[in-house]
Structure 1
Amino acid sequence: MPSPPGGFEVPLWRSLAVFRFASLAYVCLLMVRDAGRYAHPVAAGGVLLAMLAWSGMTAVWYARPENRRWPLLLADLGVVLAILAATPWVVGRAALAAGVPTLAVVWLAGPVLAWAVSGGRRRGAVAALLLGGADLATRGRIGPSSLTGVILLLLAGVIVGHVARLAVTAEERLQRAVELEAATRERERLARGIHDSVLQVLALVQRRGAHLDGEAGELARLAGEQEAALRALIAGVESAPAPDPAGGTLDLRALLGRYASPAVQVSAPATPVPLPAAVARELVAATAAALDNVGRHADGRAWVLVEDEGETVTVSVRDAGPGIPDGRLAEAARQGRLGLAQSIRGRITDLGGEVRIDSAPGAGTEIEMVVPRRSR
């Protein structure tokens, strides 16, 4: 994958260009020293000029990220293989057998390093094995020094490839960190603006209408809920998690967290409370009905407690309102007011659970809903 301009790989490509010219200078010194032993010394000069020209072209082409692809990589490898193939004719078999170096010498490591920087350890190792094998094939004899050169070539491909991949990984992580920081700053900027306008208005509506009856009280309750939801949104808290596709579960803790507000305190375990999606939705709906009763018949303040007991999950809704007088629930049922009977008890019963109500006049009300983890 090509690195963007200014990326961490750019110094590696520049170092590769420097290596080509530095190694070419060493090749030039060896040619001057051994020219008298070559079978065709004039041809050796032509090969040297070709190597110089190719070093300049690759320095320019590899500088552009869009060029660091297979056509150029294969051409780079092919040029070195061609020079190695011409070595027995230019230098001569007798000279090679006597220990005269091949024409490319260390310059042949250029494609190995290019492959390693562009593709990592494996690609560098493949190029090293190809060129190392070709270098051994051109020699009249294979000795310890020639084998050492191939091993060093292989190590260079692996090590440089590893360093290149580390550079790419570091660059990707840095980019993600920069994007996250930018997103965080934008969220904080929006949060400040929302806090200074929308949230304050919603909080004012909730406070002024908390003790009113009728539609005004309902509007105040809705304003409080929207304030809590908006605070969760700008804080980066997920208000309505999607079902887990693997098991079709929902986190009850996150679902009930939507109802947290200055008037409603939600206490839940520190870890998620997964439930089947259908069970979680029904339990949340029953909890919402209980909180609606608190808003209608008490002062709107409530405490919600979530307990994960393994096979069962318990949600308790407690308020400090006037309580439920004896016989009031039965009277409400006879009058057709089935909020508690249907919205709460009916839902929990359908899930195979039970509802316990603890209330007394002047002592508030606690509704405890216990459901099995798997509905029957």
Structure 2
Amino acid sequence: MNDYIAKTRKEITDILIACNISPKPSEVGVSEIDALNVALKTALDNQRKQAELNEKLDDTKREIKKLSARIANWQNELNELMKKAQAKNEDDFRYIGESYNNWLKCKDKYEINRRNLINLAGNEEAVKSLELELKETDSFSLSSEKEELERNIEDTNKQVQKSLQEKGELNEKIKNILQDEKLSNLLFEQKVKEEQLSVTVKRWATLVVLQSLIKQSMEKYERERQPKVLQEASNYIKIITDRNYRLMKPIGEYSVKIENADTMERKDEIGWSGGLADQVYLSVRFGLAHAFSETSEPLPIILDDVFVRFDQDRQLGTAKVILNVAKSHQIFIFSCHPLTREIIENAIIEIGLNDSVPLTHYIIDDGTIMKV
């Protein structure tokens, strides 16, 4: 029995030491057993908390796995959408999306204007008749009719103002002579004036609608019926700017403007950058050369460091235009930049000219001209 007690006390002492509890020098008593009991409960509680944390950790890992799978699915969907849109990267995809949204806005705007036009004209047949009439009308007739309508609108506005003033005067007179025996005559005169005013207002509304239609027709004419030289120059500037801009000469003006193909915003020469101004000038010169070649022998064209003020995209677009003009003209390009040859060769590859346009390179070294 004593051996059992001694053995038990030794086990308790070992457990106390393992739990970092210093046993008393005297024999192990109830207090040490209570301390062990507290330590055991604490250990069990910590074990339970650890199990709960492990369970939460497993749940978190599973949730992360699910989220990773969803992200992968989204990435696959994004890649599929980019593939369908033929986008090179996400920025390109966003650009395509913005372009599509802009197209939808323009489409909605067109449909709204179309409906408004139908409401003003009455029906589709009337709109078609109006479009046909506008196509058969020249710019001089439109300009003359516009001036006449503006004069009529101004006269009508004056008449409206005069009628409104007369109406105010009549109301004041009616107020002052309500009991006068001439009231019936004045009321009749007022009725006549009101009918005249109604007719005048309807006429004014008609003239306003016609003014709007004429303005739209003039804008369409300015975009579609430009002089041949300017048409050629506009085609060249479209190639150089990747169809971002086109050239036009407004009716009655002697200046050339550029129009943004997406926003229809027009810019005068004062709003052009240095590079854009050079590109417009070059396009107009090519247009003049093309027009001149139709009536006489084409003359050689000499260009000096034409790519200096252009960015990489505009350099490639300009090279395409030069190669296009080179089909009917001999072109000399002088440059001290070694990349000029590379720009021309890249343009040949991109548009697939191959050997259809003869191309020869020369270098000048110490006063000697040598063929490359």
Q: Same fold (TM over 0.5)?
A: no
TM-score scaled by structure 1?
0.23
Work out which structure has the larger RCO, using CA pairs closer than 8 Å and 6 or more positions apart in sequence: 1
